[in-house]
Structure 1
Amino acid sequence: MRIAALQMHAIAGDDEANIQRIAAAAADAASAGAKLLIVPELAVTGYGAGDAAFARLASPATGDVAARLSAIAQENRLAIVAGFAEREGSHVYNSALFTDGIGTNAVYRKSHLYGDYERHAFRPGVPASVMVELGGVRLGMLICYDVEFPENVRRLALAGAELVIVPTALPKGAAGTFIAGHMIQVRAFENQVFVAYINHCGADDRFSYAGLSRIAAPDGMLLAEAPAEGETLLFAEIRPEDYAVSRAENTYLVDLGRTG
């Protein structure tokens, strides 16, 4: 399965502009044969929009944002994973939506909120294994800081995920460079899964972003990577069968259950 991922310069607080950008990327991805487009954490609102804008722009899991992204997916005959602010009653969640445009929707809520900025704006989700299947590949979702806790990726791998999708808003700095440059490939290798870690680029009034989006394979190698600066549409082929040798040599999931 061919997938695409947009390292995106979102406009904070402008959901209309951001949805239009996602639509344009979906058209480009589909024309290149992709069956899935991934965009960053809170791509619909922009990560730096702030709590007032998140509250104003938050949409229910079956609301307008989901309907518009589903329509884009249907028009382009691909699935989309996009970060958005989700409203449920009085609560707002930092969420990611999967939609294939033909009736399959799934929402994952970020369980590990990062810093006071997120904790003030959002309610944490309960750690969960949100899974869907696309093109014969089992997909699991996390968001940004979630992937830095190895237990989260391991939980998805044990549940059968073959590709872990991680929309993110990684900031510039030494820690961000290390996470993108080392941790993502380790998460892929230690669980023998693909990991698509897709970031913002540029800056808004609150944050500057590291870029450095990447798609790692089960053997720890990179299938695609973006630079630190600038929008980039990445492509990768997700073929779990190509990594049978890696899984046979690195039997971490099997050996977890062995005591002697």
Structure 2
Amino acid sequence: MKIALWQTQPIHDADLALGHLAEVCSRAAAEGAAIVVTPEMALGGYNIGPDAIRGLAGRADDLTDGVARLARQHGVAIAAGMAFAGADKPRNGVVVMDRNGREVSRYHKTHLFGSVDACQFAPGKALSVPFEMGGWKIGLAICYDIEFPELARALALEGAELILVPTANMMPFDTVATRMVPTRAQENGVFVAYANYVGTEEPFTYCGLSCICGPDGNDLARADTGRVELIFAELDRAALPRHGHIDDRRSDLYGPPNKSLPK
């Protein structure tokens, strides 16, 4: 399966963002990609304040329909970062449409990053449930989520072979892309696709470095630090390990979460 990651500057007009996404999907389809992954909150911007986020969340149905139309028009699946309404605050989410414009998964970010997330969003209440697409089992995470090894491990234990990660990662945290993301791939024997922003949303300067890492932790594709790009990689099922860390875990020693270690 061929995958495309859209590394872009934040676009604060959601309709304009959909227009740019249409161009990206057209190019991705021409290159034979099966799925396009956007950055976090690609439809309207990330660090834009609670009022603007609420406005985007109020348009979630309309924007989701727009993503579905693009998927049908171009014949590619899309994992798009956007805001969804919540009972208290909006949710920072990602929706996945298959190539026929059918919604196959929706996930809300569970690990909120600092005050920028806390003032704009409420945390999701559940991890992504891996779903089937094109013969692959796929899980979802959003930005800060992937920095928690437990989350990636949980997805891998549920059978995920590929984790899609819409991201808005800023300096000085570029080592997340260069060290942590490859580690998540290797320690779980999965592919990880990490789609980031470039440019600025004051006070943040985004670090780019969008990447697609293989189950051995090596880059299959990596973007620059400061350029709008569409990067591609071909994922080969033969690269998935037949035996790895998952098989050798000593869960009998770790105990349940938060259990005190023996003295």
State whether structure 2 residue 85 is matched by structure 1 residue 113.
no
Q: CA deviation at 1:89?
A: 4.3
Q: Is the 8 A contact 2:198 2:228 kept in 1?
A: yes
Match of 1:241 among 234, 238, 243: 238
197-206 or 99-108, which deviates more: 99-108
User: Which whole-Å CA distance do the structure 1 matches of 2:6 and 2:239 have between them?
Assistant: 25
- Residue 127 of structure 1 corresponds to 126
User: Which whole-Å CA distance do the structure 2 matches of 1:242 and 1:184 have between them?
Assistant: 17
Name the aligned partner's letter for residue 255 of structure 1.
D
- Residue 73 of structure 2 corresponds to 75
Q: CA deviation at 1:88?
A: 3.3
- Residue 4 of structure 1 corresponds to 4
Q: CA deviation at 1:59?
A: 4.1
Q: CA deviation at 1:243?
A: 3.4
User: Which whole-Å CA distance do the structure 1 matches of 2:162 and 2:213 have between them?
Assistant: 10
State whether structure 2 residue 190 is matched by structure 1 residue 197.
no
1:105-139 Cα shifts (integer Å, max 9, x gaps): 31100001001111011010023132221110111
Q: Could you say what secondary structure the match of 1:9 adopts?
A: coil
Q: CA deviation at 1:84?
A: 0.3
User: Which whole-Å CA distance do the structure 1 matches of 2:69 and 2:75 have between them?
Assistant: 10
Q: CA deviation at 1:240?
A: 2.0
How do 1:1-260 residues align onto structure 2 when only pairs under 5 Å count?
1-12=1-12, 14-59=13-58, 63-100=61-98, 101-173=100-172, 176-244=173-241, 247-248=242-243, 251-257=244-250, 259=252
Q: CA deviation at 1:199?
A: 0.2
Identity of aligned residues (%): 38
Gaps in structure 2 of 5+ consecutive residues: 254-263
1:53-82 Cα shifts (integer Å, max 9, x gaps): 101111476x11111001100101110001
Counting matched residue pairs gives 252
Name the aligned partner's letter for residue 9 of structure 2.
H
User: Which whole-Å CA distance do the structure 2 matches of 1:188 and 1:164 have between them?
Assistant: 9
Q: Is the 8 A contact 2:95 2:103 kept in 1?
A: no
Q: CA RMSD in A?
A: 1.6
Q: TM-score, normalised by structure 2?
A: 0.91
Q: Could you say what secondary structure the match of 1:27 adopts?
A: helix
Q: Could you say what secondary structure the match of 1:47 adopts?
A: coil
Q: CA deviation at 1:257?
A: 5.0
